[in-house]
Structures are given as C-alpha cells and as structure tokens.
Amino acid sequence: AGNFQFPEIGSLHLIRCYPPASAQAFAEKWKLNNPAYPPWTWVKSLEVPIFATNQVEEGYLSLENVCIVKSNDDEVASCVEGEASLYDKEDEESTDSATLSGNDNVQPYYFDFHIIYSASFRVPVLYFRAYCSDGRSLGLNEIESVLPANSAKVLLESKWTFITQEEHPYLNRPWCKLHPCGSSDWMKLLFQAVEKVDRPAMELYLVSWFSVVGPVIGLGIPIQMLKEP
Amino acid sequence: MKEAQEFVWMGAIPLQIHLHESEVTTVPPPPPALILAPRIGYLPLLLPLIKPYFSSTLPPGVDTVWFEYKGLPLKWYIPTGVLFDLLCAEPERPWNLTIHFRGYPSHLLIPCEGEDSVKWNFINSLKEADYIINGNCKNVMHMSQSDQLELWNSVVNANLEAFIRSSSKLKSGTIEDDYASKSSLSSQKSQKMIGEADTSVQTKTGKVPVRLYVWNVSEDFGDMEDAPPIDSWDRISYVNRPLEIHREEGKCFTLHDAIKTLLPELFGKKRKPKGEGNISQPLETGSTADDDPEIKLLRIQGIEPKLETPISWVANHLRHPENFLHVCVYIKVPSAKSL
C-alpha cells in the first residue's frame, strides 16, 4: 500500500480550525438525512484545562442520548429522544417514540457516541457508552447483548472491528472503543474501489468510514448520505 | 545506549503500601507492605508480592484490586515510575500508597483483571508505537505468541537481558539525528539498538511515540513541597500524539522544541526554535518571553533532562519497553491566556 495517495485525514485534527471541514460536512449530511435522530455536534475540549487557553479547539463529534430499545422477543427498534438531556431521563417513557407492537417488556438503553481522531493511527475512532434509564452504565458484556442481532453478528465475524473497554481520551472515564487497527487498511480499499468523485475526499472519508463502523453499533447510515447532494 | 537502558530498567520506586482501613478486619491492623517497584513496571503486577501481607485480614469476598494515592485512584496502565514522577512533585520516599481489594471504582477506572489486562494493554501500546514509527503494526503482529509472551515476561521481571533477546525480533529502530552524531553526543556504536545485528534503522515515518502528562499549575509555588496535590485526573492533560521531528540543516531538535511542538496551543506559532543551547527568542512582533508558558518541571524516568538535550537522545535512551517516551511536565500558563 506504499504508493497509494491516501487522503490526509490528519487535517481533521491537525488543521486545528473549528470545526474541521469533514466533521462539519458529516454532521450536516447526517442532519439532512436523519431527521429522526438528534444531530451530531462538535464538542470542544474546553474541560481539558490545557486546551482551554487558546482560540483553537481540540474536539470530537458527539451524538448523545440515542435510545435503542430491545424488547423481549429480540426485536429492536431505534427510537429517538430528540432534545432529551441527561437529567430528563426519568421522563423518557412519555416521550418515547418507539414503534414496537404493543410489547410492554421493553428496556430502553441510551447510547452516547463520540467520534474522536486518533493521532497515532490517523483514523477516526468511535467511542461509545450505554446506560439505562436510571443512569447506570452498562458493562461491556451487557452492551454486546443489547446491540441489535445483526451488529452482534457483524462484530463476531468482522476482523476489522472489535470492541474493548478503554479510557476516553478526554473525559477520564471508561468508555467502549471500536478498535481502529484495521481501519486504515479498509479505508484504503474503500477509496481504491470508489471511482473518481468530485466531492472533496475529506468529506467522503468520514461518511464512508461511518458506513462501515455504524452498523456494528446499530446505527445504520441512510444511502442518501453516500450519494451526491 | 546500553548504560542508559540499564539505568532505566534498574530504576525502582520504594513503595509503602497500606491496606485501606475499611478493609482491615484484624486488631492490630497489619503493617504496611514495603515493596521495591520497577519504574518500567505496573502496579497490578506487584500483587503477588503484596497480597501475602494482607490476605489474612481481608474481609470475605472477591478481590478487585486498585491503588490510590491521597484519594486519587491510580490508573493501572500508566507505568509506576511515570505515576510517581507525575503525582509527587517533591519525590516521596518511600511512596505511600493505599491498596484496596474491594469496591473497585468502575465509573472511574477501566477494569483490570490481573496480569492479562496489563499485558494486553502493553501489547496494544507496543502496536501503537510500531504504527507510529513504521506506519504499520507488522513488526508486532508478526511476532509469535511465544515471542510476545517472552517479551512481556521480561518486562514483568524487569529483566533487561531477556528483553534485549526478545526485542531483537522487533525492529523498533532508533531516531537518526545528524546533528547529535556529528557533535559526538553519542558514539556510532551507541546509536545501534542493542540486539540488532545491523546498523540502526531510520524510523520510516520520522515520528516519535510520546505520551505527555501535563499539569497546568495555576498557582505559584516556591518549593515542590508546596505544590498542591493532584486530586483528580481531570487536572492532568494527557497528550497522546506522535511527535514529528522537523529536521533543519545545522540545527538540533531539542527536548524544548519537542514540548512546544506537542503543545502548539500553548506555545503558539510566533516562536521558532533557535537551535541548541538557546531558549527561543521573540520575533519582531514584539511579543515578550512573559507570554510563553513556563515549564516549571519536566521529568522523564525520574530525571530532569536539560531542555537543550537533543530529542533523539532522549527518545532513544529514555523510552519505556513499549517504545513510548513518557514525559511529565508541570506548566504554568500566564494568566492572560487562561479562560
């Protein structure tokens, strides 16, 4: 893979402008095509004291409070909490818009997703965590059992991705991480397979990356996001 | 190079480990365990040495071991020496730690299931360093399971000879620095990585694996003794970014340059490294030295290298077994820059 001109994903991190172009493009496309989902937002690392002292922010893409509902008969639907924030969680039964067929034994789980750039591997990395209505965090085993059946299958069979529990790069808390080790390789494959496109490679990068990574954690990506606007 | 490696591998921290009072069931309470911990090792690996001191006094139940210093739960995957350099502004000998066998703070610390967790973490860091140095993880991936195990065991036992044998299969390379070699700061012989039969390998990417632990000290303190304790990991900024060395003809890329490169948010672009021996001078913009954050303390492997030291020397000689250079730095940012 030596001669391949890999698009410099480094600019997601190294340009240090707010917000990085591809992250913004991704967020905008997502919003356009996934109206039922909360939007991705760009979180500045202001809570990291050292980075709070300058104009230019480090940061990451954040999508929080995504409700994934798993019923007892293994049917899964992703519903949306919209503006639900952490301290409103007690009220989620009333705002729940799940479309299950009247099954009362549903257990809503909430996922937070952060896309953070790894300077070492030069790829975006997906971090996520899950918790119950009462705010209790789910352990790794529980998360794997809560994921949609397809995701679990993808996870098991994929040699590109697996989930581990690691520390969030900014938040000093344990989160789950989707391992990036194979990411560069399959991203290169993806770009080699895609014919010449007019859209900036950067913008396409994050969307393409998420199209592979998303299904593993139960977030499908609408096909519209992969097409020209 | 061998002398420096020996220095690093023989470095140890005397620990005095106290069982947390909530877990003491006997009267009188057991005396603390006195353990000499290798700097390049990890706290959970000391458990076989520590447990005998306390096993008879523990309450019934399953052990979930964690360590704490002055109320701060310690991150078990940070090498012991780095924890000490970071958390003890004034080195405390012996270093008084508290051990818990119950009540693991799983909302704060990732789980540790004994030596396997530590090994897994070490191998992953080794892969990450491999990727940074070579652009891929092939060197580590191609090591057989038994070679990896041998390498890991040499770290557990702090056995440098065994490590050198095992790591000869891992071409980690050294960082070439024309300036350093010309000024005979290191002889040709010492530039070869011990264990490699051939000449030192130029790192393919020109990048150095570095992990920086930055404490932004807001108050002034005279002595290190007066430094306020670190009561939360949120006060430390952890920077895990490869260092890109910019080679300029006739100039030496120093440790000081490295810190500025890794923390551009603090040191800004208005300053340029001037070369060895000099602190950077302000440009014509009229900015003064007062604008730059002050490096109050910089520690690597328990020593405080001069900031003018060539980074290639520092990285080649003071790195940890997983090939990362861990740097602890206390910085004071001028108040004008704070939010």
Q: How confident is the model at residue B154 (pLDDT cuts 50, 70, 90)?
A: very high
Nearest Cβ partner of A165 from B111, B128, B268?
A: B111
Q: According to the model, what pLDDT value does residue A196 have?
A: 46
A61-75, A153-167, B145-159: lowest mean pLDDT where? Answer: A61-75
Among B110, B128, B263, select the one facing A165 at the smallest CB separation: B110
* A4-13, A143-152, A187-196 — most confident range: A143-152
B211 or A20, which is more confident?
B211
Specify the pLDDT at position B276: 39
What are the residues facing B33 on neighbouring strands? B17
pTM: 0.77
Q: Which stretch of A22-36, A123-137, B43-57, B211-225 has the lowest confidence by average pLDDT? A: A22-36
Closest Cα in chain A, distance from residue B279 (Å): 22
Lowest mean pLDDT of A194-198, B212-216, B284-288, B335-339, name the range. Answer: B284-288
Each residue of B16-29: pLDDT tens digit? 999 999 998 888 88
Averaged over B37-64, what is the pLDDT?
A: 92
Give the pLDDT of residue B249: 72
Give per-residue pLDDT as tens, B246-268.
777 778 889 999 999 888 877 76
pLDDT at A74: 43
**Predicted confidence band of residue A30 (pLDDT cuts 50, 70, 90):** confident
Query: Looking at the predicted structure, is the pLDDT value of residue B150 above 60?
Result: yes
The answer for residues whose C-beta is within 8 angstroms of residue A54's C-beta and 6 or more apart is B265, B266, B268, B337
Top pLDDT among B291 and B33 is at: B33
Active site (catalytic) residues of A: 181
Q: Which of A174, A186, A121, A187 lies closest to B125 in space, CA to CA?
A: A121
What number of C-beta contacts closer than 8 Å exist between A and B?
A: 70
pLDDT at B59: 81
Residue A217: predicted pLDDT: 64
Determine, for residues B110 and A167 on separate chains, whether the beta-carbon distance falls below 8 Å: yes
How far does B182 lie from chain A, in Å, by closest CA? Answer: 31
Query: Is the confidence at residue B284, as pLDDT, over 80?
Result: no
Q: Which residues of B touch A169 (CB under 8 A)?
A: 238, 240
What is the pLDDT confidence band of residue B170, given thresholds at 50, 70 and 90?
Answer: confident
The reply to whether B107 touches chain A by the CB within 8 Å rule is yes
| CB–CB contact A50 B265 (8 Å) | yes
Q: pLDDT tens across B112-139, in order?
A: 989 999 999 999 999 999 999 988 888 8
* Over residues A59-65, mean pLDDT: 74
Given this model, what pLDDT does residue B337 score? 45
pLDDT for A154: 61
Please tell me the distance from the alpha carbon of residue B218 to that of residue A186, in angstroms, as a whole number: 45
Question: Is A167 near chain B, with CB under 8 Å?
Answer: yes
d(CA B165, CA B173): 15
Confidence of residue A148 (pLDDT cuts 50, 70, 90): low
| Closest chain B residue to the Cα of A135, Cα to Cα | B107
A111 vs B232, more confident: B232
* Mean pLDDT, range A117-137, rounded to an integer: 83
Higher pLDDT, A158 or A194: A158
CB contact under 8 A, A50 and B331: yes
Is the CA virtual torsion B256, B258, B261, B262 positive or negative? negative
- Give the residue-averaged pLDDT of B280-307: 72
Q: Cβ–Cβ of B240/A56 closer than 8 Å?
A: no
**Phi, psi of A112, rounded to the nearest 5 degrees:** -110, 135
Nearest to B242 among A52, A119, A137 (CB): A119
Complete DSSP assignment for B59-111: PSS----EEEETTEEPPTTS-HHHHHHHH-SS--SSEEEEEESS---TTTS--
B133: closest CA among B321, B323, B4?
A: B323
Q: List strands edge to edge, sheet with B210-216.
A: B236-239, B210-216, B325-332, B294-299
Residue B169 pLDDT: 74
Compare B131 and A92 and report the one with higher pLDDT: B131
pLDDT of res. B42: 98
Nearest to A50 among B109, B137, B214 (CB): B214
- Is B336 or A81 the better-scoring residue by pLDDT? B336
What is the structure's pLDDT at A96?
A: 39
Average pLDDT, chain B: 82
Q: Which of A52-66, A140-154, B143-157, B194-208 has the lowest mean pLDDT?
A: B194-208
Closest-CA distance, B132 to chain A, in angstroms, reads 6
